[in-house]
Structure 1
């Protein structure tokens, strides 16, 4: 079943973050549209909500789009924008309120990369846009 989520506050954003943890995308799949005040990420997300077990023994990924609206600016750190084929692995998304509802949405990637979005408020949408396929492995996080 295709996932569709909307985030309008930091609690909603934490739910979206859980669903995109370990999503992979290419640097070239990041797009900031200043005239539309939108930041878009096209990704292959790991389907964490699908239970594994006796009836379900396969891990899966789905192509999804995550976009943020009401974005006033975007900055990257540790991401080589001149290498569009480089693969990024998204770890988490968080929000730091500066002058609520305005603040910074931070997207944290494996290897130290980050994107900071200066937003008027939290307004994000995540939607699966394609069918699922079997993932070759399940992401592992060591404490």
Structure 2
């Protein structure tokens, strides 16, 4: 069996799950540079679910996408969430748009641990979870990125 390549990708919506740190690193790469209004985060305490509605850049299209950069709306969901904390985020300012940089998992009392969503501008969201259980699902058709540019991270 060989590794997957960008050239093998299908033009289909993503629907991925992560139950291990290695799986989460794939999802983290796919949601890098996703943007979302502060109003599009929800924690359902009784269902122990935290969700974000993201406008994510379609990194899976690889270098060919540079000529026509696309975004797609996706839902990123974390199950078994027992606590949520954030820093550097003003939830009262409903006009704020956040940019997601990475998603990581740090086990504490296995299988429990903390998921950290690191945001641009020194913001972060920490989710205490019973175990790592995450899904990323595209919910709209891709659309041309409003900036018409591929996100860039200069050294």
TM-score by length of 2: 0.89
SS of match in other structure, 2:100: strand
Q: Deviations over 1:69-93 (max 9, x none)?
A: 0000000100001112200000000
SS of match in other structure, 2:26: helix
Higher strand share: 1
Q: Which runs of 5+ in 1 are unaligned?
A: none
Is the counterpart of residue 29 in structure 1 residue 29 in structure 2? no
Is the counterpart of residue 68 in structure 1 residue 78 in structure 2? yes
SS of match in other structure, 1:64: strand
Q: Deviations over 1:31-69 (max 9, x none)?
A: 11100000000010000011333x972110000000000
Is the counterpart of residue 102 in structure 1 residue 112 in structure 2? yes
Is the Cα contact below 8 Å between 1:24 and 1:44 reproduced in 2?
A: yes
Structure 1 runs (4+) greater than 3 angstroms displaced: none
TM-score by length of 1: 0.96
Q: Which runs of 5+ in 2 are unaligned?
A: 1-11
Is the counterpart of residue 128 in structure 1 residue 138 in structure 2? yes
Is the Cα contact below 8 Å between 2:66 and 2:149 reproduced in 1?
A: no
In 2, Cα distance between equivalents of 1:77 and 1:138? 27
In 2, Cα distance between equivalents of 1:131 and 1:16? 19
In 2, Cα distance between equivalents of 1:75 and 1:56? 36
Q: How many residues end up aligned between the 2 structures?
A: 142
2:123 equivalent among 88, 107, 113:
113
CA shift in 2, pair 1:30/1:56, >3 Å? closer
Is the Cα contact below 8 Å between 2:66 and 2:150 reproduced in 1?
A: no
